[in-house]
Structure 1
């Protein structure tokens, strides 16, 4: 399974260049088309695509960094490079959406003439290119927050293109120039809505937030191991969205270290197979802390 995921990630990274090239071409086309048609939604989408091109390059660099092994500078490795990138990409996307909404509101008060056919042509080109980019990144977006943030950038562009096409048709048929800023607001609002869960999840990981696992269940399972009679001072955190690190103090009956090793192995096995923990640190104690709760809370810092 791990090998399959690694190969899948390599495949996704191999498509970054094609996606970046497509985005650069879309950006140039939309800037030119927006200027000649007078369409705010095209120009705003061009800025959006420009940001996407940068985010794709940054995502690629982060994915390469994340493959580095642990060293003396980062003993847990470099997997958080992708989490940081996903967080920054998502923040940038929300800021872009807010800027577009403000400009769109201004356009309602000061409508400008728009060339519908030019707007339509460029939007159709953008839709085809963005759809191709989204297909290339789709598989990698399912299990990787960094790829998902990049994928959302591309999908938001595709949605923008669809909305711009609809707006272009309405402008051409009915001369409803107010449709252009309306489309901008609707698309920007939807993009911000879709991006917020990524911001929330990546922020939780960066803040050493605990994964959603059953701590009482862990305590119950560990107490069933022969030789363990209490579990306390538990900490769990996420290196990235897949890798959980876990530490705990366990009270053992007085025994030799060699006798405790099988207990350690059993604890590791339970935590890995049942709770998905990738790295476990156990501190064995005899009587110290035997009456403490599973989560450390003594009214002071850890």
Structure 2
């Protein structure tokens, strides 16, 4: 987890944030102008993607800053989910834009229009270099953070889109295949949707308090193996973000002093941290109460 946080800080430092934002704002302008003068839908669509990239970086950066704020009396778990919300918004934006571009591209594919392949080629070369630089700058942080990954995918998809436009420009110049312009738009848009959908699913799962990938049978067995524990029930496991797991449970113990029960809490917390990477553990000690209840409380009355 510490490595993830280091990567994330490295990926979204202020200098990189400013450089990537300014670079993509300039490329957006170049592609819009190039698309208009060349009559290229793929260049204009790539310009929209780059505009999305700039917005994505700004949103990701501020979500990163917000997520680092300390806990408050109103936000007792802190602000880590700002990054999950940012990843969700960025991903939905990509899906929506891709959908509109596919519709426009299909219309262009049915009635291809003349395109300036040479201008397409030149602008796409510039765009490819710029997007590749941006993607490299964010590549490390993308491995451990959904927010950075959503932003990284913006740039990666634009790099691929620009390569497709280069190929289309060559085919238009050599063979006069104007249909390759909208075809590239469709291919890249479908690829973006394919890559983005898993992020949307995962962010929704986290926002809906879904349990992380934990072997619950193994977890129960491990807790029961702790000396002094007789049963565990009423368990809740959820994630604040993709790296922070919360755990709460009612643990049955032998009748003892609270000070003695506290000595059992620590081995449980250490076990959950070491083996399951669970950061925050809340235990309610009980003797007989709830001993017959299920591991996961399913009576429909524990949360109203």
| Shorter-chain TM-score tier | over 0.9
C-alpha separation in 1, matches of 2:262 and 2:114: 77
Listed one character per residue, the Cα deviations across residues 145-200 of structure 1 (whole Å, up to 9, x for unaligned) are 10000000000000000000000100110001011111100000001000011001
Match of 1:99 in 2: 100
C-alpha separation in 1, matches of 2:218 and 2:6: 34
Match of 2:72 in 1: 71
Match of 1:248 in 2: 249
C-alpha separation in 1, matches of 2:113 and 2:221: 68
C-alpha separation in 2, matches of 1:7 and 1:216: 33
C-alpha separation in 2, matches of 1:301 and 1:291: 15
3-state SS, counterpart of residue 208 of structure 1: coil
3-state SS, counterpart of residue 12 of structure 2: helix
Listed one character per residue, the Cα deviations across residues 255-297 of structure 1 (whole Å, up to 9, x for unaligned) are 0001111100111111111111000000111111101110111
Match of 2:273 in 1: 272
Shift of the alpha carbon at 1:111?
1.6
Match of 2:148 in 1: 147
User: Where do residues 12-91 of structure 1 align in structure 2 (5 Å cutoff)?
Assistant: 12-14=11-13, 15-91=16-92
Shift of the alpha carbon at 1:109?
2.3
Match of 1:219 in 2: 220
C-alpha separation in 2, matches of 1:48 and 1:132: 16
Match of 1:196 in 2: 197
Match of 2:137 in 1: 136
Shift of the alpha carbon at 1:301?
5.4
C-alpha separation in 2, matches of 1:108 and 1:154: 25
C-alpha separation in 1, matches of 2:90 and 2:255: 52
C-alpha separation in 1, matches of 2:222 and 2:48: 54
Query: Which segments of 5 or more consecutive residues in structure 2 lack a partner in the other structure?
Result: none
Is structure 2 residue 217 aligned with structure 1 residue 186? no
C-alpha separation in 2, matches of 1:217 and 1:36: 63
> What TM-score comes out, normalization by structure 1 length?
0.97
Match of 1:173 in 2: 174
Per the alignment, do residues 299 and 6 of structure 1 end up closer, same or farther by CA in structure 2, a change over 3 Å counting? closer
User: Where do residues 106-121 of structure 1 align in structure 2 (5 Å cutoff)?
Assistant: 106-121=107-122
RMSD in angstroms over aligned alpha carbons? 1.1
C-alpha separation in 2, matches of 1:49 and 1:205: 28
Is structure 2 residue 296 aligned with structure 1 residue 295? yes
C-alpha separation in 2, matches of 1:281 and 1:70: 17
Per the alignment, do residues 112 and 301 of structure 1 end up closer, same or farther by CA in structure 2, a change over 3 Å counting? farther
Shift of the alpha carbon at 1:9?
2.6
> What TM-score comes out, normalization by structure 2 length?
0.97
Shift of the alpha carbon at 1:6?
3.9
Listed one character per residue, the Cα deviations across residues 9-56 of structure 1 (whole Å, up to 9, x for unaligned) are 322122111111111111011011001100000011111111111111
C-alpha separation in 1, matches of 2:44 and 2:7: 35
3-state SS, counterpart of residue 288 of structure 1: coil
